[in-house]
Amino acid sequence: MCVIFLAKIEAMALVRGSSLKTGSALAALWLLFPAVITTSAKIEPLLFEEQLLWVSGMEGEVNTYRIPLITFTPMGSLLAFAEARKFSASDDGAKFIAMRRSTDKGSTWSPTSYIVDDELDQDGLNLGSVVVDQEVGSVILVYTVCFHLHNCKPASTMMVESKDDGLSWTSPKNLSIQLGVQNFAPGPGSGLQKRYEPHQGRLVVCGHGTSEGDGVFCILSDDHGHTWFNGAALKSIPYNQKKRALDFNPDECQPVEMMDGSIVINVRNQNNYHCRCRVVVRSQDGGMSLPIDDLYFDYELVDPAIAAGAFQKEGVLFFTNPANEQQRINLTLRWSVTNGTSWEKNALQIWHGPSGYSCITSLDSGSADDRRHIFVVYEKGLHDYDETISFAKIHLYGGREST
Ligand SMILES: *[C@@H]1O[C@H](CO)[C@@H](O)[C@H](O)[C@H]1NC(C)=O
Ligand SMILES: *[C@@H]1O[C@H](CO)[C@@H](O)[C@H](O)[C@H]1NC(C)=O
Ligand SMILES: *[C@@H]1O[C@H](CO)[C@@H](O)[C@H](O)[C@H]1NC(C)=O
C-alpha cells in the first residue's frame, strides 16, 4: 500500500520558521502574563503534516478518487472515505466507497478497503455524509445511487453502518422506503448528532436535490439511525424548473451545530445568485425548518461554487474551500471567533494550486493534544484538482506545545 509523502518541505520549513519566532516571543510573554496566555491562546493555524491518502490512476481498477470525507469515531480512530470511480472521472458511472482508517490520529493509515461496491451500475453511488452517533458508538454513512437518473430510476438514499470502529460495515439499507423516493445527494461532508437542545441526540444529514427540483434538504433520525424522516427544505427558485445562470440554486452543503443549539448550514451557491460567495442558512428547530429570514450571503467567503468544509470546535468556526471566485485553486482555511459573523484576517493557505472538495474533523476528548489539532481532507493536484486526496494535520497554535 503506497502512502506518498508530499514534497512540501520548503513550504513547511518556511511556515515553521516564522512560527518559531512567534513561539519564543510568546514564551517571553508567558513569563510576564501567564494567566493571559493560558486563557486566550490565539489561534494561529500551521500546516503541520500532510500526506496523500489516494492517488488517482495509480491503483488497480480505480480511475479517479474524489469526494473525500473524514471523521473521528467515538473511540478516537480517524476514518477517511472517498468515491473510487472505477472507469472515468465523471460523477455518474460505477464506483466503490473507499475507506482508510488510522488509529494514531493520522500518522499511519490502513490499506484501502472498499466497503461498498455498486457493481457496475450505469449511474452508481455518490457520497455522501458521514455521521457519528456518540450515544451508541456507531458510524453511519449515507449516500445516494442513481442520482443522475442515467439509464436507471429511481434515485435512492442508502445507508451503511459500522458498530466496531469502522472495521466492518452492514450491507446497504435503502432509506427511500422510509423517506419516499426522491433525488437526494447527502453532503458531501459530515452529518451531525445534536449535542445541545433542541432535539439533543438527533442525527441530522443535509444535502441537495436534483438540478431542477434543487435546494437544500435535511433528513433526521431520533432513534440512532433506525428510522429517518424528512426535515427542513430550502427550495431553489424557480423550483422544479430549468435553472438559468444567476438563479437561486442552493446546492451541496455542510451543516454545523453551534453552541446555542442552532444548526448553521454553509451552502454552495450553484448558479452564483447575488454573489460568487457562500450562502448561509440557519435552523433553530433541530433541522425542521430553514427560514429565509435567517439566510444570508457571506461575502467574505468567496467561492467558485463547490462543496466546502465547515466545523465548530470550542466555539471557533472553521471553514475550508478553494478561495477564488472563478477557479478551483487556493485551498484556504479560515476561522471565526464570532460564530461566523466575521472571519479573522490571516487565513491559512493550505495549497496554492488546483484544489476541490474538502472536509474537516477534530477530536473533542478534552486532552491538550486533541484541543490543538484539526484535520482536513481535500482534493489536490498539480494540474487538476482530482489528481489526489490529501490529508492535512493542522496545529491550531503555530506548532507550540504550551497553549
Ligand atoms: C429503494 O426503495 C425504493 C422505494 O421502495 C425503490 O423504488 C427503489 O428501487 C429502491 N432502491 C434500491 C437501490 O433498491
Ligand atoms: C487565496 O485566498 C486568499 C485568502 O482568501 C486571498 O487573499 C488570495 O487572494 C487568494 N489567492 C488566489 C490566487 O485566489
Ligand atoms: C457565539 O455564540 C455563543 C453561543 O450562543 C455565545 O455564547 C457567544 O457570545 C457568541 N459569540 C459572539 C462573538 O457573538
Tell me the per-residue pLDDT of 196-217, one tens digit each, with 9 for 90 and over: 999 999 999 999 998 778 999 9
**pLDDT tens across 93-145, in order?**
999 999 999 999 999 999 999 999 999 788 999 999 999 999 999 999 999 99
Model pTM? 0.90
Average pLDDT over residues 327-344: 98
Phi-psi region of 7 (alpha: psi -120 to 50; beta: other; left: phi over 0): beta
Q: Is the dihedral of CA 244, 300, 309, 234 positive or negative?
A: negative
Count of positions (residues) in the chain: 403
Beta-strand relationship, 203-208 and 113-117: unpaired
Cell 478497503 -> residue:
113
Q: Identify whether 252 is a catalytic site residue.
A: yes
284 Cβ inside 6 Å of ligand 3: no
- Assess whether the C-beta atom of 162 lies below 6 angstroms from ligand 2: no
The C-alpha atoms of residue 244 and residue 270 are separated, in whole angstroms, by 10
The verdict on the CB of residue 339 being under 6 Å from ligand 3 is yes
Query: Cα of 338 to ligand 3 centre, how many Å?
Result: 7
Ligand 1 mean position to 180 CA, how many Å? 9
pLDDT band at 59 (very low <50, low <70, confident <90, very high): low
- Let me know if 61 is a catalytic residue: no
pLDDT of res. 120: 77
Which of these ranges, 32-46, 77-91, 322-336, has the smallest mean pLDDT? Answer: 32-46
Catalytic one among 161, 379, 386, 387? 379
